[in-house]
Structure 1
């Protein structure tokens, strides 16, 4: 058990930006709160985190992040209930996954207390930035990157761990239609697909842009070898409902072990919704769409929680999903968000209170 850090330095901003923010009209990830957490790795160890005013970062042009891409991140949210209590959702899972990602990219792993105590200190300093409007939250972005200098192709000798926060509204708005990818791959066996590495997302942008030009909003990624199996939906895990069974692919070197994904599986099982974790072929999904047994498809991730898919394209053919009154997507999303925002009991122990 890591000891609590009692000496986190707090340097507060001289002028707040909060009065210039319209909390009734928040775009996702466009407005940033007053402070951020900063922590440096140098001389072979992580140094005590500190809370500082949100500001640009100065880096040498030879910093290895620019040349060799050592960068990992997480996505989290903080919520505030009607009694002004601050809540997180499974934060230790985010901490553990950040270190799993870091290890794969040869980045020094963070101590748990640096992550948790630093995060809680930051949230207390910027507690007024946590919106209470339904559908809104304080999005939290922890990330680590190589700040050490040099052109030699090797791991850096210095790193920065930063947590920034952004009061945000809904991630997706409107109907989402996706294109099943037949050419490009998100990741490969033995690669870094299971890590939240910045480069994974950079590689997604071009194929996604091609899909957007065809009239879709996102890409359904398929396996790198045969493109016969669906694996993820854009930057999210994917679920498919055939008849009454909810199906999602197993995690692997290529598929992120999503925290929302794990929560949906556990919650669905507790509600006696049939769940299968197995490979899902494109052919199976297309056939289910043709015979009417495909009821739902949705993406799952921190930012949107659950994002329903209205239809998909494959081999120049479009398929519409049925418009159901009662969907697994809407039911599971409400159950999860009610737990996150302290509106209902939490039988799973997922909710984490930030003590004042």
Structure 2
């Protein structure tokens, strides 16, 4: 399938002061778009001006939430070049989400090339200041106008780009985590491992409640027993426990994070033993009290690594250290991964794809 590139009649002005960039608020001049029709397959691929598109009020995504998305970044490296980080892994996960949501898969090589072409055309939008990047959001939605609970016969797949500022404007800072003993994010057999909007919409109520009490994130426990750690909002969770990196296993209820994969690989290279097991919430508090749990952090595309300073559960709070200082291992993992992404450290894993 050929990708048509349409002209941009009125380019937007670039943002001169990159310190004013915020996450997900500004968008570039162009977007990629293609459609799917049952019996015809994917068609009409093009890179066109960014802007609204028409959708019927009965579009099935609006009623039955057939929708998936991805998130990855392009980085301005120290030599001025632009590179993507593990984009093939994101495209492969996009297709896994599509299968689970009964949506059509994309040709992975074609879709990856489309993303590369789009980023190449918008390369001037990749910011240059330390910690900044270009966020890439591939999305698929069901567009068939039909009120009926079944897989749709028509879909749109598109990619938009957003220049984003440094996540930690004041430096890497630990966050405060509220552990929910009532709300759950996902259950076995559900869609917890799928990157679909419904998972995030379902988390908003608890997140708002936590924010109202002064916490930054909600840590979810397993749906069956409300006992074992799963993940935090938009991040996978890792703990340094007895000198090992402990993280919840992938068993269908948490996202198979690309950043999580990268951190586990880097930790093993650093000589850390990695243990994928269900960590009980009681172990967190007992581990902090005994000194066996020394660090905790979240991992995700937006934050890369987010250190945790304190946990609160059922009215009890435990601080990691003084609650304000990033742990040594957390800092080293953050510096190593961002060093690879921005080209300051060698990429020995083949993760970086230059534009």
Q: When the two structures are superposed, what TM-score results if normalisation uses the length of structure 1?
A: 0.95
Shift of 1:12: 2.7
Instruction: Tell whether 2:131 aligns with 1:132.
Output: no
State whether structure 2 residue 24 is matched by structure 1 residue 29. Answer: yes
Question: How far has the Cα of 1:170 moved from its partner?
Answer: 2.8
Bigger drift between 320-329 and 285-294 goes to: 320-329
Q: Please give the secondary structure, in 2, of the residue aligned with 1:66.
A: helix
Pair 1:38-2:33 in alignment: yes
Deviation at 1:48, TM superposition (A): 4.3
Quick check: 1:18–1:33 contact (8 Å CA) kept in 2?
A: no
The number of residues matched between the two structures is: 349
Say which SS state the counterpart of residue 161 (structure 1) adopts: strand
Alignment correspondent of 1:181? 180
The match for 1:192 is 191
Query: Displacement of 1:326 after TM fit?
Result: 5.2
User: Where in structure 2 are there 5+ consecutive unaligned residues?
Assistant: none
1:274 deviation in Å? 2.2
Q: For the residues of structure 2 that align with 1:197 and 1:18, how far apart are their CA atoms?
A: 32
Q: Does 1:319 align with 2:318?
A: yes
Query: What secondary structure, in the 3-state scheme, does the structure 1 residue paired with 2:58 have?
Result: coil
Following TM superposition, by how much is the alpha carbon of 1:290 offset from its aligned partner in structure 2, in angstroms?
1.7
1:140-164 residue CA offsets vs partner (Å, 9 max, x unmatched) = 0001010111101111111011100
* Structure 1 residues 194-343: aligned runs within 5 Å: 194-323=193-322, 327-343=328-344
TM-score after normalising by structure 2: 0.95
Q: Does 1:63 align with 2:59?
A: yes
CA–CA distance in 2 between the matches of 1:242 and 1:149?
51
Is the partner of 2:110 in helix, strand or coil? helix
In structure 2, how many angstroms separate the alpha carbons of the residues matched to 1:19 and 1:129?
Answer: 7
What corresponds to 2:89 in structure 1? 93
Question: In the alignment, does 2:79 pair up with 1:80?
Answer: no
| Deviation at residue 21 of structure 1 after TM alignment | 4.9
Contact 1:170–1:304 at 8 Å: present in 2 too? no
Displacement after TM superposition at 1:18 (Å): 3.1
Per the TM alignment, residue 219 of structure 1 is displaced from its structure 2 partner at its CA by: 0.3
RMSD between superposed Cα atoms in Å:
1.5
